[in-house]
Structure 1
Amino acid sequence: MSASRWYGTAGAAIAEWREQLITLSHSLHDEPEVAFAEQASAAKLAELMRSAGFKVTEGAGDLPTALTAVHGEGELTIGVCAEYDALPEIGHGCGHNIICAIAAGAAIGLRAAADRYGFRVKLIGTPAEESGGGKQLLLERGVFDDVTVAMMAHPGAIDTAGARDSTQACSRFAVTYRGHPAHAASAPWDGVNAADAAVVAQVAIGLLRQQVPPSSRVAGFIRHGGSVTNIIPELAVLDYEVRAPDADKLDALRQRVRDCFRAGALATGAEVSFQQAGPDYLELRNDPWLMAAYCAHLPDFGRIAVVLPPEFNTASTDMGNISHVVPSIHPMIGLRGATATAHTREFAVASRTVAADEAAIDGANLLARVGIDLARDAGRRAGYVALRGGRDTWR
């Protein structure tokens, strides 16, 4: 059977499940859950995958809201990553409800070809992308050990699919200053002002930004800086993140930013400590062959990928961590007519529209076709399988 026939077979399977896929997307959108608290979201995905004939394992990698759904046998395992965590207060302002529907649909489409071409489909439900690095935790715990290639697609205002498209490496951490309380009117000199330490640090970081390249970012806020006006604050807590084009630049900038926080402690006499908020996110490395295969199918769905300039790489994702170990792609699929940017209430609204539903089905078909292309290409398939066998060296 020709490739086009198998694309049709996968597409027919996705079309058969279209109503359930759209229902999943809408249901996740209507009941948003944040990182590591996605109990209902994971359960909805698990139920759909079971009903589609997959063997589902909930709590994958000892993460209660992670799961795997597997079908087929063979040395080639095509991994499809599903995300379903939402943003605090904003809800699905990053469109993870669409990502989840795309992944489920792609897995269902690939299932239709898996037995014919002798490969495994493995959908991986990955919690806590927005914060917490769920994919990195699953990677460390062996959930990706059997995965030959990994794929997902992210919604946006435009379609992008460049092999050199990337994301920023990112580190998030909390900073705690501990001082000494005193009455702010009768004896302020007896206190050590933790809030002042935070102010000194933020001023230092503001000045540091003059020497930070445009490709890097420093952002944060004061979570706690005192309770009442007449007591010198003994505790201040800040949440900060540092972003840079790659892991090496990230580490260098993080050290400079932390020196600014140490300066606040030195200036005020407060004690400072740092607490990592989760795994570092590494920069994304799209696999050229897989991305070229994805691009080749875009015209069939009336889509054209926009070529992004390098400085556009401002987002961060834990899919970057996977891409350093497993050949991966993470294209962006456009919501036609959308103008909002991610992480806004406006984009949350756009993530439950007809355009969002269309992107979910198109994305599922596109990823399924990439998997079929790989399964049918004996030489390329053998190369990726061999790469997985030597992964320790490759890493």
Structure 2
Amino acid sequence: MGELKATAEAAARRAAEEVLALSHSIHAEPETAFEEIETSRKATDVLRRHGFEVETGVADMQTAFVASYGSGDLVIGVCAELDALPGVGHACGHNIIAASGVLAGLALASVADRAGITAKVFGTPAEEFGGGKIFMLRAGVFDGVHAAMMVHPGDQEHDSHFTRSVVDLEVRYTGRPAHSAMAPFEGINAGDAATIAQVSIGLLRQHLRPGELVHGIVTEAGHAPNVVPHSSSLLYDARADTIADLEGPGGVKERLIRCFEAGAVATGCDVEIKDDWPAFSEFRNDEPMVAAYRRNAEALGRTFSDVPAEQRQRQAGSTDMANVSLEIPAIHPSIFVDGQGSTPHQPEFAQYCVGPDADRAVTDGGIALCWTAIDMATDADQRERLMASRKAES
């Protein structure tokens, strides 16, 4: 195992300059959900140059891809998230995620045959909005994969991951326009419908259970003060600790929808609630892989944060990698990037997702993931366990 890890690390170090250039290039040209055309091309170009077979456009998504190397019976998948955030670019550091995933794949390829591994790098679009991994799961793209992994930059270092389940709802009210001075009584005010819905949501927050959250924005509410708004739209998400709490009877999603319906009832507007996006689930950490990743990251000099699990759950966000974890043994560790007091999703954090600290996160993250895969492949008990996992069918 030591020789395999040394070989893999040497391969990663040789490829580091090329992969760090990839990280910087992705950062410089951020692309949002489902539009990651250049980002996907850049990543697949690197993988092809290193002998990976690449399939693009998987799961009917133009930017999703699967890059494969080797023919071992243990299939290890590394997820490379591609999308940026609207308005603030790579303030969540997906350039680091994509590059570390590519680097892990290249390192694994150097030992794939000797370790009995097939290495797969999954280019996954639309994590910030839409849930690209969930569409890939549903399309069978992850079938036959025995373990899935990725690293995510953050303001703390953690070996395991906590998330909340989340669902996105798009809401549109349609009323009737009128002159707001001459004949306001002829109008049906869609802006008022949005206001009533938001007041209802504010009152609902008094009665949300621990772990339940509701947040949203108004994306349209009229265009001129002298015209009664005839249309309005909102984009909201609802979160809970588990998908059962989110979508079950009496769950926060059901109660949120009632608030939107109240706006329509009170004003006479028509309401359309678009519920097409899949819900993100809670995360299931694969503990043996978590422990292996921690050992490997510490061997590279990483230091983990000591934050109680209860606090981390209270601060949890959401990811479509969680849905993967419910079907395939998975890890999603957080790797520290010093944002000088800023945190992911703040515009200030984006500037720290390139530079020496971010580059170290790419290389350390990629190597630690690769070493973790080697640990799983060379431990007979762990290999057998993963081979028997739910997604073992080919």
TM-score (norm 1): 0.95
Matched with 1:312 is: 312
Residue-by-residue CA offset, 1:299-327 (whole Å, 9 max, x unaligned): 21222222433243321110011111111
Secondary structure, in 3 states, of the residue corresponding to 1:185? coil
Instruction: Tell me if structure 2 keeps the 8 A contact 1:171–1:242.
Output: yes
Deviation at residue 338 of structure 1 after TM alignment = 4.1
Matched with 2:61 is: 63
Task: Give the distance between the partners of 1:137 and 1:282, measured in 2 at CA.
Answer: 14
Task: Give the distance between the partners of 1:389 and 1:218, measured in 2 at CA.
Answer: 33
- After superposition, where does 1:64-103 map in structure 2 within 5 Å? 64-103=62-101
Task: Give the distance between the partners of 2:340 and 2:79, measured in 1 at CA.
Answer: 24
* Partner AA of 2:385 in structure 1: G
Residue-by-residue CA offset, 1:327-367 (whole Å, 9 max, x unaligned): 10000001146431101111100101110000100001100
Deviation at residue 146 of structure 1 after TM alignment = 1.6
Deviation at residue 216 of structure 1 after TM alignment = 2.1
Task: Give the distance between the partners of 1:389 and 1:349, measured in 2 at CA.
Answer: 38
Unaligned runs of 5+ in 1: none
Residue-by-residue CA offset, 1:191-211 (whole Å, 9 max, x unaligned): 211111111110111111111
Instruction: Tell me if structure 2 keeps the 8 A contact 1:215–1:311.
Output: no
Matched with 1:339 is: 341
Task: Give the distance between the partners of 2:295 and 2:50, measured in 1 at CA.
Answer: 28
Instruction: Tell me if structure 1 keeps the 8 A contact 2:339–2:352.
Output: no
Instruction: Tell me if structure 1 keeps the 8 A contact 2:143–2:392.
Output: no
Task: Give the distance between the partners of 1:328 and 1:389, measured in 2 at CA.
Answer: 12
Matched with 2:243 is: 247
Matched with 1:378 is: 380
Residue-by-residue CA offset, 1:117-143 (whole Å, 9 max, x unaligned): 221001110011111110001111111
Secondary structure, in 3 states, of the residue corresponding to 1:342? coil
Matched with 2:178 is: 182
Task: Give the distance between the partners of 1:388 and 1:244, measured in 2 at CA.
Answer: 25
The percent identity for this pair of structures is 42
Matched with 2:23 is: 25
Instruction: Tell me if structure 2 keeps the 8 A contact 1:178–1:236.
Output: yes
Residue-by-residue CA offset, 1:14-40 (whole Å, 9 max, x unaligned): 000010010000000011111111111
Residue-by-residue CA offset, 1:202-232 (whole Å, 9 max, x unaligned): 0111111111134221111111111211221
Instruction: Tell me if structure 2 keeps the 8 A contact 1:157–1:334.
Output: yes
Task: Give the distance between the partners of 1:107 and 1:77, measured in 2 at CA.
Answer: 12
Deviation at residue 389 of structure 1 after TM alignment = 5.7
Residue-by-residue CA offset, 1:32-57 (whole Å, 9 max, x unaligned): 11111111110000110011111111
- After superposition, where does 1:94-243 map in structure 2 within 5 Å? 94-162=92-160, 165-243=161-239
Instruction: Tell me if structure 2 keeps the 8 A contact 1:157–1:338.
Output: no
Secondary structure, in 3 states, of the residue corresponding to 2:157? coil
Residue-by-residue CA offset, 1:245-288 (whole Å, 9 max, x unaligned): 11011120011111111111111111111012521111111111
Matched with 1:276 is: 275
Runs of 4+ with >6 A deviation: none
Matched with 1:353 is: 355
Instruction: Tell me if structure 1 keeps the 8 A contact 2:158–2:335.
Output: yes
Secondary structure, in 3 states, of the residue corresponding to 1:167? coil
Secondary structure, in 3 states, of the residue corresponding to 1:239? strand
Instruction: Tell me if structure 1 keeps the 8 A contact 2:81–2:127.
Output: yes
Residue-by-residue CA offset, 1:64-110 (whole Å, 9 max, x unaligned): 10111111112210000001211111110000000011101111111
Q: Alpha carbons of 1:389 and 1:258: their partners in 2 closer, same or farther (altered >3 Å)?
A: closer
Choose from 362, 365, 390 the match for 1:363: 365
Task: Give the distance between the partners of 1:311 and 1:250, measured in 2 at CA.
Answer: 20
* Partner AA of 1:207 in structure 2: L
Task: Give the distance between the partners of 2:74 and 2:256, measured in 1 at CA.
Answer: 44
Choose 374-383 or 330-339, whichever is displaced more: 330-339
* Partner AA of 1:215 in structure 2: G
RMSD between aligned alpha carbons? 1.5
